[in-house]
Amino acid sequence: MEPFTHYVQYYETDKMGITHHSNYIRFMEEARVAFLTAIGWDYQQMEQRGLISPVVSVQCKYLKPSTFADTLTIAVTVKKVSKVKLTLAYRITNQQQTICKGLSEHCFTTKDGQILKLDQDLPDFYQALTKLAD
């Protein structure tokens, strides 16, 4: 799977000139949407079908800072998939080193909040994720 690339913008940095910590969650979100598209499950099309994917939890471990104009590469992998939850792992690197690692957990629901069982309600999606799991 091709990693996602993000170019750090000036507005994403703080007064110290480093990328503000809250932006890494946004970068992971961008990479997740690109990842889903790459495996054939475009998020916008999922929403048009009445499906949403709320974040259940998110973790981010900051290892090194990034700064304006850094090129960040975000690798997304399927850490775990169950019948009702997907856990994705993220590894964010700049030009030289890993600067951040993260995890996000998601469930899948209808727009009215009914939790979906991936293996039953979205079997093709479940199989695609299962094949990609560590």
Indicate the burial class of 15 (C-beta count within 10 angstroms; 0-12, 13-18, 19 or more): exposed
The pLDDT of residue 85 = 97
What band does 38 get if pLDDT is binned at 50, 70 and 90? very high
Contact 51, 106 (CB under 8 A): no
Query: Residue 86 sits in a domain of what CATH number?
Result: 3.10.129.10
DSSP per-residue codes, 61-93: EE-S--BTTPEEEEEEEEEEE-SS-EEEEEEEE
Residues 6 or more apart from 126 whose CB is under 8 A from it? 81, 83, 118, 119
Q: Are 88 and 123 in contact (CB under 8 A)?
A: no
pTM: 0.94
What's the whole-number mean pLDDT along residues 7-31?
97
Q: Tally the domains of the chain.
A: 1
- Domain residues for the domain of 18 are 4-132
